[in-house]
Amino acid sequence: KKYNVAIVGATGKVGETFLKVLEEKNFPVDKLYPMASKKSAGINIKFQGKDWTVEELSESSFDKDIDIALFSAGGSISLKYAPIAREKGVIVIDNSSAWRMDKDVPLVVPEVNPEDIKKHNGIIANPNCSTIQAVVALKPLHDRFKIKRIVYSTYQAVSGSGVKGIRDLEEGLKGNKNEFYPHQIAFNCIPHIDVFLENGYTKEEMKMVEETKKIMNDDSLRITATAVRVPVISGHSESINVEFEKPYEISEVFSIMDSAEGIVLVDDVANNKYPLAVDAADTDPVYVGRLRRDESVESGLNMWVVADNIRKGAATNTVQIAELLVKYDLI
């Protein structure tokens, strides 16, 4: 069976990676409907050996035979158009934060909570990039040792902000002034991703806290986060400190990580081997390393987790969700 697939935000960084990953995975697409804003309408897109024309997104865009719509066009577009698509019988997989915490919307990482997809009511949410790579690494350890507390510190690539963030870094490295970020990103770290909230955290940090609990289905988890933008083009790196309910042996953590789905263990410090953003770029795994006991608590562990924020952090995870819909015969 082949499916008619709409791509909302087809000309953005994540949108164009949707197309790349759909082709790589040979997803069975019959008709493609690339959609974007007025300024991109008419652009020709080559996909699976054919030419497709970008149409301007409108309220009538889903009045045709579309099976799945992959959205990555910002939260306001998702808020307005996902319900319109759903009403027309389209299954929406949304990359924005707009629907993630809605109780009727499953928030899915296929390696972590695939079964949740069966509860969808027409909209499925793709989690935040930093949350996805974290829960892939944490889930196997939570199942075995029961996590009680998580401390996230992230080092996030500028591609997470799209072309504007990349340009700020590239221009900044040439000594030109920034336009997008609140401060110079070149030769700098900016502890400010998305907007600040009443509690002094940023929205990015609270997404990690709230989305982790929903995906792991455990509101008892105690979590804090600090999200930092760093002068890296591609790949988010994260220092994750976890405290378990149960005692553990470090040798068992190594073997669990080495065999867990979606994880590549890179941990051989005697030979300077640990996960690096430049190695993760344009690949799909979540890379885990620097595993070591946190001696300051009863049963604690430190790790370093790296992944491509546009692929596993967004586009690949979304296409994997589409593959789950097919696998579970939900479409």
State the residues that interact with ligand 3JM by CB under 6 A: 74-75, 96-97, 128-129, 160, 207
Closer to ligand 3JM by Cβ: residue 74 or 300: 74
137 torsion bin: left (phi>0), alpha (psi -120 to 50), beta (else): alpha
189 flagged as catalytic: no
221 to each of 188, 286, 318, how far by Cα in Å?
Answer: 32, 22, 25
Smallest distance, ligand 3JM to C-beta of residue 263, A? 21
Closer to ligand 3JM by Cβ: residue 97 or 237: 97
Smallest distance, ligand 3JM to C-beta of residue 84, A? 18
Smallest distance, ligand 3JM to C-beta of residue 237, A? 17
Place of tokens 């600090």: 226
Report the amino acid identity of residue 184: Q
Smallest distance, ligand 3JM to C-beta of residue 207, A? 6
Closer to ligand 3JM by Cβ: residue 16 or 243: 16
Smallest distance, ligand 3JM to C-beta of residue 209, A? 13
Closer to ligand 3JM by Cβ: residue 152 or 244: 152
Smallest distance, ligand 3JM to C-beta of residue 267, A? 28
Listed residue (149, 73, 105) closest to 314, CA to CA: 73
Closer to ligand 3JM by Cβ: residue 207 or 311: 207
Closer to ligand 3JM by Cβ: residue 166 or 253: 166
Catalytically annotated residue among 120, 129, 142, 183: 129
Catalytically annotated residue among 120, 142, 189, 236: 236
Smallest distance, ligand 3JM to C-beta of residue 82, A? 12
Closer to ligand 3JM by Cβ: residue 95 or 244: 95
Q: Are 117 and 106 in contact (CB under 8 A)?
A: yes
E-strand spans in 161-244? 222-229, 236-244
183 flagged as catalytic: no
Report the amino acid identity of residue 291: L
Dist CA 136 CA 236 (whole Å): 14
146, with CB counted inside 10 A (0-12, 13-18, 19+), is: middle
Catalytic residues: 129, 236
